[in-house]
């Protein structure tokens, strides 16, 4: 069910939440894993929702090589946006939001975020918090806290939209209310938060106090 309240702002993850970039990410990470003699399926399971450097470190790459590996992998992702697309209904939904009432909080570097959003036909908001903007990536709450501050909103008065466990944990730690987007999930996620399949049936309005109110579209 939809959360029964209004919000000062919406904070969106990008990959899996606003756009579907799974095919591209899987292609790139699979090639990276195979090049290092790692189990590609296992690596892919760990890369969702976190910065590339965290995943690379997790798989035992020497620290001296992490930055170079992450840069090369990011460039490969920038060069391969085939199949990247907006989640159903998201373009209409975002266009209904005042530009100063929403932000994107992504674990992707800024150049990759820009490339993927463009490939999906989405225009980023003025507040875009990327991998370079925080010392600690998800599941730490730093990105969500930074976005809320830049919007002039209390994190606890925001609705964070996420799809991956690391991102959900980051949103929870920030104090925000959480909405889970299941568009790219192969099976239902076990979560205490409300889940939407996509944005097709959602509406958003701005009430008399300038706050965002979610609703269901009636056809």
Exposure b/e, 116-127, CB count within 10 A at least 16 = b: bbebbebebbeb
Q: Would residue 15 show up in a list of annotated catalytic residues for this protein?
A: yes
Catalytic residue among 15, 20, 142, 163: 15
At 60, phi and psi to the nearest 5?
Answer: 80, 15
Other Cβ atoms less than 10 A from the Cβ of 162: the count is: 28
Do β-strands 85-86 and 6-7 pair in parallel, antiparallel, or remain unpaired? unpaired
- Helices 63-79 and 110-119 meet at what angle, rounded to 10? 20
Q: Would residue 79 show up in a list of annotated catalytic residues for this protein?
A: no
Say if CB 135 and CB 142 are below 8 A apart. Answer: yes
At 46, phi and psi to the nearest 5?
Answer: -95, -5
Say if CB 107 and CB 51 are below 8 A apart. Answer: yes
Residues with a known catalytic role: 13, 15
């Amino acid at each position: 069910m939809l959360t029964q309240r209004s919000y000062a702002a919406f904070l969106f993850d990008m990959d899996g939440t606003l756009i579907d970039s799974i095919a591209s990410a899987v292609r790139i990470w699979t090639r990276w894993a195979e090049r290092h003699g790692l189990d590609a399926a296992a690596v892919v399971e760990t890369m969702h929702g976190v910065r590339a450097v965290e995943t690379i470190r997790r798989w035992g790459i020497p620290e001296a090589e992490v930055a170079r590996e992450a840069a090369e992998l990011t460039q490969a992702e920038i060069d391969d946006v085939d199949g990247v697309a907006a989640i159903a209904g998201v373009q209409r939904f975002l266009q209904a939001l005042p530009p100063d009432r929403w932000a994107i909080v992504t674990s992707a570097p800024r150049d990759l975020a820009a490339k993927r959003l463009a490939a999906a036909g989405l225009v980023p908001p003025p507040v875009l918090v990327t991998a370079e903007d925080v010392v600690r990536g998800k599941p730490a709450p730093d990105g969500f806290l930074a976005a809320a501050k830049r919007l002039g909103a209390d994190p606890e008065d925001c609705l964070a939209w996420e799809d991956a466990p690391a991102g959900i944990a980051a949103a929870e730690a920030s104090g925000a209310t959480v909405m889970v987007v299941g568009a790219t999930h192969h099976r239902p996620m076990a979560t205490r938060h409300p889940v939407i399949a996509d944005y097709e049936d959602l509406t958003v309005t701005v009430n008399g106090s300038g706050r965002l109110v979610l609703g269901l579209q009636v056809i």
